[in-house]
Amino acid sequence: MLQNLSLDSHIQASINSWLTGNYDESVKAEIKHLIADNNVTELTDAFYRDLEFGTGGLRGIMGAGSNRVNKYTFGAATQGLSNYLKQLYRNQPIKVVIAHDNRNNSSILANVVADVFSANGIFVYFFEGLRPTPELSFAIRELGCQSGVMLTASHNPKEYNGYKAYGADGGQFVFPHDEAVMNEVGKIASVDEINFHGNPANIQSIGKEIDEKYLDALANLSISKDAIHRQRDLKIVFSPIHGTGGVMVPPALKRFGFENVILVEEQMVIDGNFPTVIYPNPEEAEALTLSLAKAKATDADIVMATDPDADRVGLAIKNDDNEFILLNGNQALCLLVNYMLTAWQKAGKLDGNQYVMKTIVTSYMIDKMAESKNVECYNVLTGFKYIGEIMTQLEGKKTFVVGGEESYGYLVGEHARDKDAVVACCMFAELAAYYKDKGSSLYSTLLDLYVEYGFYKEKLISITKKGKAGAEEIRDMMDNYRNQTPKALGGNTVVTLKDYKSAVSKNMLTSVSEKIDLPSSNVLQFFTEDGSIITARPSGTEPKIKFYCSVKAVLPSKDQFEEVEQALETKLTSMLKDLGI
């Protein structure tokens, strides 16, 4: 049957191994159906490689095949992780936590993961229903576990699912543990090496008792309790976009003292098909359409929507014309950092032993704010696991205040080692209450920050390149940028090229190079003479290449905001054109 299809020999061999191996008949039937339909494209993408267990775990399209999310790819990942944990914690009892979001097949796959762990003699705490990623991170630490797994594909389309692997600190694995786990997963050469026969005695259901401890930890982070009490009727529109935020965000807001939370009922329905949105991504304006309509109808004060696993949150606030505008992740984080540092300063808690954290593609206005308060700001590679890594290294030595990344992920407090949209929703509601109580607003405060620190305008451009051909095209784009670095962008000379893959920062004017003291990553940053920055980075979890753009200018006064913003937008467009975007 395969001989009639124009497939590479290694793809044919992979398909044959699935058709003849110890796989469920339903899986074999799905493959045979693709063959009968002569679907060469789908077969190629499903079998041209093994779904890669990367530094953050797995993420991919659900279906049959070695490059798909299914019980066998998740089973192999769990068997490899089990093998590693038993090596690392030799002759010790090992405990893990498993949670999942609302995606199709998540509960089924979570049970597969629990079975494989338990079959390997590892004790499993299994959340009784869907829970947010940050609560999983909290539970690992709270229960003294050595690892944890979250089944989620975050904000990817409905066809996707994923597997995030965590270490004993509650953060995703970092070097050298990430590579060690990857190696063990890579050693699983056959489905017959996976122990799917679970041991129920090694599995314990958990739920409300952890929920209460998690909510208590968040409520203790509140700063402006009096302002919240006076503004307890603040109108908050919230949507979980069919996901886990609906489980924890409303009770967390109530715990903070907010009494007027208006839910987007259509999106409170748990549904892995995400029927009310194109993509369940709060970074996209479309995903907040229903939330904004509800906010306008109720004259709300603030709009918040979380992604399916509730580690990211999108926000909308009112401008001076009483119209709702969407904040990007940089703007939201700048407001949050300013609020936290100012409050800590007023309370006399900034003694030089505090720090904030962000990624290299997140607004450098945060660096300026931290410097003004004599607080250290750490810059790390994209990926919240690097923030979690530094937090663990500094635990007990310095105090983490707040951190985040431009992709709508934020963390306040040290209860977790991953971004937490549940606490972020509570804190952004608190910010809205605090400034309203002072007769101001989040929008006015943002413009004040631009006047004080400079107007930083950031923009993210994502270009999707699907399948094997798309991956090759993205690779070629990065190679061209490295080998034929543009001399100028938007009429401004490129003065520095930072190549995080080779860990080299090169002065383009003098050709002098310096070492970058960060892990290797396929990222390029172009710095121009006027302080603009464009970062090119292929996504590690999606078939995309992303361009993070930052331009800045002086904002003499708030009433010149629109004029300066237009000038910055024009500059940004010109710079991207020079990169062929």
Three-class secondary structure of residue 477 per DSSP: helix
Q: How many CA atoms lie within 13 A of 297 on its CB side?
A: 10
CA distance 159 to 69: 10
Three-class secondary structure of residue 180 per DSSP: helix
Please, where in the chain does CATH 3.30.310 lie?
A: 457-578
CA distance 519 to 313: 28
CA distance 27 to 19: 9
- Which pair of tokens denotes residue 229? 């009490």
Q: pTM for the whole thing? A: 0.93
**Residue 379: partners with Cβ closer than 8 Å, 6 or more residues away:** 357, 358, 359, 360, 367
Question: How far is residue 447 from each of residues 304, 338, 404, 450, 530, measured CA to CA in Å?
Answer: 20, 12, 20, 5, 22
Residue 40 confidence (pLDDT):
87
CATH topology of domain 49-206: Alpha-D-Glucose-1,6-Bisphosphate; Chain A, domain 3 (3.40.120)
CA distance 276 to 333: 27
Residue in this structure with the two tokens 């270490």, named with its chain if needed = 167
What does residue 74 show for φ and ψ, rounded to 5 degrees? -70, -35
CATH topology of domain 457-578: TATA-Binding Protein (3.30.310)
Residue in 154, 291, 407, 532 annotated catalytic: 154
Residue 52 confidence (pLDDT):
84
- Which pair of tokens denotes residue 68? 């798909």
Using CA of residue 147, residue 148, residue 153, residue 159, what is the dihedral sign? positive
Three-class secondary structure of residue 490 per DSSP: coil
CA 32 to mean position of chain CA atoms: 36
Three-class secondary structure of residue 208 per DSSP: helix
Q: Which residues pair with 402 in a beta bridge?
A: 356, 412
Residue 24 confidence (pLDDT):
92
Closest of 373, 400, 365 to residue 384, by C-alpha: 400
For 214-221+232-453, the fitting CATH number among 3.30.465.10, 3.40.120.10, 3.40.50.300, 1.10.8.60 is 3.40.120.10
What does residue 50 show for φ and ψ, rounded to 5 degrees? -85, 135
Packing angle of the helix pair 245-256, 208-219 (nearest 10 deg): 50
Buried b (16+ CB within 10 A) or exposed e, 420-454: bbbbbbbbbbbbbbbbbbeeebbbebbbebbeebe
pLDDT tens string 415-470: 999 999 999 999 999 999 999 999 999 999 999 999 999 999 999 998 988 877 88
CA distance 108 to 100: 10
CA distance 301 to 303: 7
Please, where in the chain does CATH 3.40.120.10 lie?
A: 49-206, 214-221+232-453
CA distance 581 to 572: 11
Buried b (16+ CB within 10 A) or exposed e, 138-156: bbbbbbebbbbbbbbbbbb
User: What are the respective helix, strand and coil percentages of the chain, to the nearest 5?
Assistant: 40, 20, 35
Residues of the chain predicted below pLDDT 70: 1-5, 55, 540-542
Question: How far is residue 44 from each of residues 76, 187, 271, measured CA to CA in Å?
Answer: 21, 23, 30
Residue 4 confidence (pLDDT):
59
Closest of 69, 45, 60, 58 to residue 470, by C-alpha: 45
| DSSP assignment of 247-302 | HHHHHHHHHHT---EEE-GGGTS--TT-TT-SS--TTSGGGGHHHHHHHHHHT-SE
**Residue 282: partners with Cβ closer than 8 Å, 6 or more residues away:** 155, 241, 288, 305, 306, 307, 312, 313, 314, 408
CA distance 223 to 389: 26
Closest of 161, 152, 146, 113 to residue 134, by C-alpha: 152
The answer to whether 261 touches 121, Cβ cutoff 8 Å, is no
Residue 105 confidence (pLDDT):
96
- Strands across the sheet containing 123-127: 57-61, 160-166, 147-151, 95-100, 123-127, 203-206
Per the annotation, the verdict on 154 as an active-site residue is yes
List the beta strands (DSSP E) in 383-472. 399-405, 409-412, 455-464
Closest of 35, 10, 41, 68 to residue 468, by C-alpha: 41
Residue 252 confidence (pLDDT):
98
The answer to whether 155 touches 310, Cβ cutoff 8 Å, is no
- Which pair of tokens denotes residue 406? 């431009």
Run of H or E including 57: strand 57-61
* The total number of residues written for the chain in this structure: 581
